[in-house]
């Protein structure tokens, strides 16, 4: 049986595809970063998609996008079902978000990243018509403590106990949305701290697995595609995740029920990505709590990336220097700054 990272029983993988995927996130971040603070989300997204697609199509793999955003005729997105790679090598499912935080990028706010995750074919959860999930994420120290059925306050208490800290020392990451008013009130009622983020809950979930200057929990409703990508990262980092599907309106609920989903079912980490042979790559676009943003310095561009393999448990933080003029010639894209 061929493994995601090698042949046979996987004891001697021939290469780390996560490192190759990092080339895709680096490329996307470098081109998207040119649009930081310029107020054009579509231009930033289009640049990131073009760069990521170009790079991922150079990788020897038989990849299919199972978690994307958009359809074939709706540029500028990597669409569900799109084939990526040279077609050679192992068949894999790919989850992509060329920019997690397009608004953050366009407004020059912190926390935007470019992300790719992958796993063996058929092992990623397919959300179909369900666009949102209620999520609960924590890091390795409290992975056995969380339970989405007991409510926010109790989960805060459980995580505090598991991490041997006071409830008042617990920090919870929550997307800043009107739908979270009640959630925020309940977290505050037990005395926990809250880190509100405007967008980018993949990056927010990563904070729960960070030992220094991180957070303890992520709670609240966010995108289902982002949940699957997050699951790949959390699995590699040894954390835990529990979710329930959530419908924004009656139309979404009807679609979910038609597709056979049980809205009350607890969806755990292994339901979101069943394989233990998972990889994840992310590159910072704007400065964030986990990764630095892209730095432009005339003759060079500096990127900061995170690369992980769940099978080996290896976590790499990579700083890379790129020469934009050479990238222009190799790719036919515009990595150098425009002059006016």
Q: Is 178 annotated as a binding residue?
A: yes
In angstroms, the CA 40 to CA 293 distance is 18
Q: Is 100 annotated as a binding residue?
A: yes
Q: Is 199 annotated as a binding residue?
A: yes
Q: Is 102 annotated as a binding residue?
A: yes
Q: Is 177 annotated as a binding residue?
A: yes
CB-CB contact of 145 with 161 (8 Å): yes
CA 145 to chain centre: 23
Q: Is 226 annotated as a binding residue?
A: yes
Q: Which of the 8 DSSP states describes residue 107?
A: H
Q: Is 34 annotated as a binding residue?
A: no
Give the DSSP per-residue string, 227-263.
HHHHHHHHHHHT-EEEEEEE-SSHHHHHHHHHTT--T
Residue 328 backbone phi and psi in degrees, to 5: -55, -45
Q: Is 69 annotated as a binding residue?
A: yes
Q: Is 132 annotated as a binding residue?
A: yes
Residue 66 burial class via C-beta count within 10 angstroms: exposed 0-12, middle 13-18, buried 19 and up = buried
Sign, CA dihedral 10-15-19-20, equals: negative
> Binding site for Mn(2+): residue ranges?
45, 69, 97, 100, 226
> Binding site for substrate: residue ranges?
100-102, 132, 177-179, 199-201, 223
> Binding site: residue ranges?
45, 69, 97, 100-102, 132, 177-179, 199-201, 223, 226
């Amino acid at each position: 049986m061929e493994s995601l990272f090698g042949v046979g029983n996987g004891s001697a993988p021939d290469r780390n595809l996560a490192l190759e995927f990092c080339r895709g996130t680096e490329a996307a971040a470098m081109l998207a970063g040119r649009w930081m603070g310029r107020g054009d989300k579509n231009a930033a997204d289009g640049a990131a998609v073009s760069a990521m697609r170009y790079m991922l199509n150079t990788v020897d793999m038989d990849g299919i996008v199972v978690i994307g955003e958009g359809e074939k005729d709706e540029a500028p997105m990597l669409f569900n079902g799109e084939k990526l790679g040279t077609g050679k090598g192992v068949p894999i499912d790919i989850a992509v978000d060329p920019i997690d935080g397009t608004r953050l990028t366009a407004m020059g706010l912190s926390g935007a990243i470019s992300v790719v995750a992958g796993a063996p074919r058929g092992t990623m959860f397919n959300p179909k018509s369900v666009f949102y999930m209620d999520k609960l994420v924590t890091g390795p120290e409290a992975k056995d403590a969380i339970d989405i059925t007991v409510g926010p306050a109790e989960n805060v208490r459980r995580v505090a106990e598991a991490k041997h800290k006071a409830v008042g020392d617990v920090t919870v990451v929550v997307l800043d949305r009107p739908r979270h008013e009640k959630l925020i009130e309940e977290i505050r009622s037990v005395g926990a701290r809250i880190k509100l983020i405007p967008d980018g809950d993949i990056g927010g979930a990563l904070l729960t697995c960070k030992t220094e200057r991180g957070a303890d929990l992520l709670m609240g409703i966010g995108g289902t595609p982002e949940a699957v990508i997050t699951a790949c990262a959390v699995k590699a980092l040894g954390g835990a995740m529990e979710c329930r599907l959530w419908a924004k309106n009656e139309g979404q609920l009807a679609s979910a029920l038609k597709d056979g989903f049980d809205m009350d079912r607890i969806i755990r980490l292994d339901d979101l990505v069943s394989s233990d042979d998972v990889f994840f790559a992310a590159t910072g676009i704007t400065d964030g709590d986990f990764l630095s943003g892209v730095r432009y310095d005339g003759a060079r561009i500096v990127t900061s990336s995170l690369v992980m393999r769940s099978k080996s448990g290896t976590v790499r933080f990579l700083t890379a220097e790129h020469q934009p003029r050479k990238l222009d010639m190799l790719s036919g894209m515009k990595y150098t700054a425009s002059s006016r």
